[in-house]
Amino acid sequence: MVAASGDVVERIQLAPDAGLVKSLGANHTLESAIADLVDNSIDAGAGRVSVRLLTRQDRLVQVEVLDDGKGMDVNVVNAAMTIGHQRDYSVDDLGHFGMGLKVASFGHADVLTVWSTKYGATPVGRRIRRADFSKDFTCEVLSAKVAEEHSADRSVILGSDVGTSIIWTEVRNAYRGDAADEARRWLATRNEALRAHLGVTFHRLLADRRLRIDVLVDELGEALAAPGVPVLPIDPFGYATSGHPDYPKVLVAKAGETRVKLRCHVWPARSDITGFRIGTKPGEQFQGFYIYRNDRLLQAGGWSDTANPSPARQLARVVLEDSQAIGSFLTMNPEKSGLKFEPIFHDALGRAAAADGTTFIEYLQDAESIHIDANKRKRRRRPVIRPDKGFTPAVRKRIGNELQFIDGDSIDLKWRRMPAGEFFDVELPTKTLWLNSRYRPLFAPSGGSLNDAPVLKALMFLLTHEVFEGRHLGAKDKDQIALWKSILGAAVVAEERMRGE
Ligand SMILES: Nc1ncnc2c1ncn2[C@@H]1O[C@H](COP(=O)(O)OP(=O)(O)O)[C@@H](O)[C@H]1O
Ligand SMILES: [Mg+2]
């Protein structure tokens, strides 16, 4: 039964209990939590951020995020430590809920310390212990003198007098066991995951040099006064040529006044580059929507119930960037991961179309057909002998992506001295293709290495692999080899003469 207004006898105010603090941050990974701190640095106008994973005997004990942003004074820092304090945001801000700093921090640490210096203001320091904060929101005010010292340290690392340092101590969720190699592996994995996450999340800002992020992993107390190793941008749309000649295509989704552009991409089949792959995870896991807000990636893939993920759809990635869309079509959560698509967006997507009439379903089918055709081609092709020594890994891998290998057989490509005018030789019993080392400087000018001259070797493989696939050289094979030797012998002599001139 619904209560009527006459049933109200009194209004009482129920302020939140500080115990809510205990629930914060459970959904954050270490990477997403650190990215949230980087958001704050960006909002503060930082051009440089140094993320520091500090260890004691390879166990993560402290995380620091230092920036050269505009810093905070007393008033701002007090608001900053308050849960849900929403300042006046501008349209290009990444902040939103007034939660990020606290949620990210308490998801991973029991103590949060903030040191900050703003131009013309006394440096400030604040510390929150999660246990106290979750009783009565207690925050400790730290001495300005110590804040001044921290400001000086930060200035050595980032070269700026103003800025902010966020420091997590009593870090939870880190490897604490006895095995030293486990500890190092844990750290290496987190470092890789962090670099990949920051690299893709901020790829536009990093690529445009609007932002530089460095990551340092070092022992606490001995850490270098250096920012660390730069994070490289990972562009999830960084292919050279589209997988489908008609794409990318823009589909427009409309609902009432809201119009959202969906830029639909088809990756080339069997890509094996960073960008398709992200970090150590295969590209297949990154199909779906890429949602950008002020050039920050909020979601890297996932169909959010608008379509089903499948291996056949692995080439499909859709960019959605429209701050208009967030709020009406999409709901952001405090972790800024996995946006929720509103029912109105699902309806709009069903009706969305490109200028040429292409619908969302047709786009998915186009992406699937590129993937399926590429696989059919691979299966139709005859298996080949596996390239082994002498081929650079990228070439070996690509040949393996395009063709299947004959079991238990492989070919080596090596250099050895031969008479002038001879370019190569076939040695079937050892399955070796010899190249004349006399001409090696022409193809590997910087001295050469085991895997040198990749173009030449790939061409030689494509030309000769069939003769290595038989058990002996037939008359036809011998004639072919004689033909290649004759022509390539003349070619290499000409090549040498031209280069000499
Ligand atoms: N690195 C920083 N530099 C300057 N100000 C910061 C920084 N981090 C946090 N702040 C301040 O603290 C406030 C609260 O941050 P946060 O809890 O992440 O919420 P939001 O970013 O949604 O406002 C920010 O609005 C900003 O004023
Ligand atoms: Mg924030």
Give tens-digit pLDDT for 444-501.
Answer: 888 778 899 999 999 999 999 999 998 888 899 999 999 999 999 999 999 999 988 6
Does residue 336 have a pLDDT over 70? no
Task: Indicate if ligand 1 lies below 6 Å from the C-beta of 101.
Answer: yes
Cα 301 to ligand 1 centre (Å): 27
Please provide residue 16's backbone torsions phi and psi, each rounded to the nearest 5 degrees.
-65, 150
Nearest ligand 1 atom, CA 69? 3
Nearest ligand 1 atom, CA 83? 17
Task: Indicate if ligand 1 lies below 6 Å from the C-beta of 204.
Answer: no
Cα 87 to ligand 2 centre (Å): 11
Q: Where are the beta strands (DSSP E) in 38-96?
A: 48-56, 59-67
Task: Indicate if ligand 1 lies below 6 Å from the C-beta of 259.
Answer: no
pLDDT value at residue 476? 92
Torsion angle, CA of 396/402/407/408, rounded to 10 degrees?
A: -10
Q: What is the pLDDT of residues 153-199, one digit of tens each?
A: 999 999 999 999 999 999 998 999 999 999 999 999 999 999 999 99
Q: Return the DSSP state at 117.
A: E
Q: Return the DSSP state at 166.
A: E
Is the CB of residue 253 less than 8 Å from the CB of residue 262? yes
Task: Indicate if ligand 1 lies below 6 Å from the C-beta of 334.
Answer: no
Find the range with the poorest average confidence among 33-37, 400-404, 423-427: 400-404
Mean pLDDT of the chain: 92
Cα 379 to ligand 2 centre (Å): 50
Is the CB of residue 41 less than 8 Å from the CB of residue 164? yes
Q: How far apart are CA 139 and CA 131, in angstroms?
A: 11
What domains does the chain contain, in order, with CATH numbers?
Answer: 18-230 (3.30.565.10), 249-376 (no CATH), 384-500 (3.30.2010)
Averaged pLDDT for residues 301-321: 94
Does residue 20 have a pLDDT over 90? no
Task: Indicate if ligand 1 lies below 6 Å from the C-beta of 121.
Answer: no
Give me 307's structure tokens. Answer: 């379509």
Q: Return the DSSP state at 112.
A: E
Q: How far apart are CA 483 and CA 485, in angstroms?
A: 5
pLDDT band at residue 337, thresholds of 50, 70 and 90?
Answer: low
Which among 102, 216, 110 has a CA at the least distance from the CA of 157? 216
Give me 224's structure tokens. Answer: 């270098």
Instruction: Name the residue with the closest Cα to ligand 1, atom 1.
Output: 41
pLDDT value at residue 91? 81
Nearest ligand 1 atom, CA 41? 1
pLDDT band at residue 335, thresholds of 50, 70 and 90?
Answer: low
Instruction: Name the residue with the closest Cα to ligand 1, atom 8.
Output: 40
Task: Indicate if ligand 1 lies below 6 Å from the C-beta of 263.
Answer: no
pLDDT value at residue 256? 82
pTM of the model: 0.81
Residue 24: CA count within 13 A, CB half-sphere: 25
Please provide residue 343's backbone torsions phi and psi, each rounded to the nearest 5 degrees.
-55, -35
Nearest ligand 1 atom, CA 67? 1
Count CB atoms within 10 A of the CB of residue 138. Answer: 13
Nearest ligand 1 atom, CA 76? 27
Residue 145: CA count within 13 A, CB half-sphere: 0
Cα 500 to ligand 2 centre (Å): 62
Contacts of residue 133, defined as CB under 8 A and 6 or more positions apart, other chains included, come to 18, 21, 106, 139
Q: Which ligand is nearest to the CA of 103?
A: 1
pLDDT band at residue 228, thresholds of 50, 70 and 90?
Answer: very high
pLDDT value at residue 425? 96
End-to-end, the C-alpha distance of the chain in Å comes to: 97
Cα 20 to ligand 2 centre (Å): 19
Question: What percentage of the chain reaches a pLDDT higher than 90?
Answer: 73
Is the CB of residue 159 less than 8 Å from the CB of residue 68? yes
- Identify which of 28, 38, 42, 43 to mutate to test ligand 1's pocket (most ligand atoms within 8 A of the CB): 43
Q: What is the pLDDT of residues 70-121, one digit of tens each?
A: 999 999 999 999 988 888 888 888 887 888 999 999 999 999 999 999 999 9
Please provide residue 42's backbone torsions phi and psi, each rounded to the nearest 5 degrees.
-65, -45
Instruction: Name the residue with the closest Cα to ligand 1, atom 14.
Output: 80
pLDDT band at residue 276, thresholds of 50, 70 and 90?
Answer: very high
